[in-house]
């Protein structure tokens, strides 16, 4: 009798749990947006700490982005220093369905931070115009998340 009760409980639990495991699009895009926000914050922090300009450059077609120094050289990953700081979606199971719906930093595909952590777009220079619009829209299936970089302050938010 106890075995029958256990089997019934397991059956009910599997009917409830299994459908929830099927679609992970929302979790993938949330994870990717958080990863991008932390990369942007890291880049901004390193720019302030090192008193040098660093940038995040996006490649929409290849679903990737990388952190570069002012000369355009990809920097070392802070976690695995033997690797370059490049993130490619679709190659890992955690974010295999994620892509960029749009990348817009004043019409360009990169954002860079000066020695004070202020964001700019376009080519790195000594007197650039300040960033006016900065956002990346990521998607997985029907789910979208937007990562914004605020002008002047460089505040990074996820919506």
Q: What is the DSSP string of the chain?
A: -HHHHHHHHHHHHHHHHHHHHH--HHHHHHHHHHHHHHHHHHHHHHHHHHTS-EEEEEETTTTEEEEEETTSPBPBPSSSTTSBSEEETTSSGGGTT-EEEEEEETTBSEEEE-TT--EEESS--SSPPBP--EEEEEEETTEEEEEEE-TTT--EEE-
pLDDT at 5 exceeding the cut of 90: no
Average pLDDT over residues 113-138: 91
Report pLDDT for 126: 77
Domain tally, the chain: 1
**CATH number of the domain enclosing 115:** 3.55.40.10
140 lies in some domain: yes
> Full-prediction pTM beyond 0.75?
yes
136 lies in some domain: yes
Report pLDDT for 119: 96
Average pLDDT over residues 55-74: 95
Range of the domain at 154: 27-158
Report pLDDT for 19: 57
Average pLDDT, the chain: 90
């Amino acid at each position: 009798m106890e075995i029958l009760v256990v089997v019934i409980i397991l059956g009910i639990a599997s009917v409830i749990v299994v459908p929830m495991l099927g679609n992970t699009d929302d979790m993938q895009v949330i994870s990717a947006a958080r990863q991008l926000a932390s990369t942007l914050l890291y880049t901004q922090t390193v720019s302030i700490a090192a008193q040098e300009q660093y940038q995040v450059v996006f490649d929409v077609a290849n679903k990737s982005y990388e952190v570069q120094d002012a000369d355009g050289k990809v920097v070392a990953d802070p976690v695995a220093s033997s690797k370059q700081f490049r993130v490619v979606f679709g190659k890992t199971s955690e974010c295999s369905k994620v892509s960029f719906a749009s990348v817009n930093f004043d019409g360009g595909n990169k954002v860079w931070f000066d020695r004070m952590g202020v964001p700019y777009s376009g080519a790195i220079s000594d007197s650039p115009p300040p960033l006016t619009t900065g956002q990346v829209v990521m998607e997985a299936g029907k789910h979208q998340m937007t990562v914004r970089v605020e002008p002047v302050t460089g505040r990074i938010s996820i919506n």
